[in-house]
Amino acid sequence: MTEVRFYDSIDDELLKFAVIISKTKNKYVFCKHKDRDTWEIPGGHREHLPKDGNNRENIMDTAKRELYEETGATEFDIKPICVYSVLKPDNFDGKESFGMLYFADIKCFETELHSEIEKIAITDELPEKWTYPDIQPYLIKEAKRRGFL
C-alpha cells in the first residue's frame, strides 16, 4: 500500500523529486508521456550537475526545468507548497522518498514540446486516468487544503 505524507520542511539533501501542480488561465495543466495512455502532474527527478557528480541541482531549478520540459512553459510564477513523501513497499527498498511540491501559474508556452511528453491538456477537470493514481490526487488535495488551488 502507498502512503503519502506532507511536511513543511526537510533536509534539502533528502529531496529527490520536484512536482509542479500547474494552472494557466485558472485551468489545470497536465501532461501525457509518449509511452503511456495516462495523465500526470509535471515533475521529475533532481539531477546531478555535470561538473561534479556529487553536486545536485537546486530543487527550485529542478522544478523550473521539469515544468519547461514537460509543458513548454516559458513564463510562469512558481511557489513552493510543501514537502511530500511517498512510502511504497516496492519502491526505494520500502524507504520514505521525498519531493518538493510546487504550484505554478503559467503565463506563456512554447508552441511545441521537446521532451518525452507527447502532449499537454489544459482543463477544468482532474484526469480520470492518472499515471500515479495512488500519489498525485493526494498532492492536489493537499495543495487545495493549503489554499493554493
Which stretches does DSSP call E strand in 12-96?
15-24, 27-33, 43-45, 73-87
Residue 53: per-residue pLDDT: 58
Residue 104: per-residue pLDDT: 98
Which residue, chain included where needed, has cell 529531496? 15
Residue 52: per-residue pLDDT: 61
Q: Which of 6-10, 24-28, 46-50 is predicted least confidently?
A: 46-50
65: pLDDT strictly greater than 90: yes
- Going by pLDDT thresholds of 50, 70 and 90, the confidence category of residue 124 is very high
Query: For the residues 56-72, what does the mean pLDDT come to?
Result: 95
Q: Which of 28-37, 53-62, 72-81 is predicted least confidently?
A: 53-62
Domain boundaries, the chain: 3-145
Dihedrals φ, ψ of 3, to 5°?
A: -125, 130
Dihedrals φ, ψ of 94, to 5°?
A: 75, 5
130: pLDDT strictly greater than 90: yes
H helices of 5-147, in order, are: 59-71, 136-145
Higher per-residue pLDDT: 138 or 50:
138
Q: For the domain with range 3-145, which CATH number is right: 3.30.460.80, 3.90.79.10, 3.30.565.10, 3.50.50.60?
A: 3.90.79.10
pLDDT averaged over every residue in the chain: 93
- pLDDT tens column, 101-121: 999 999 999 988 888 999 999
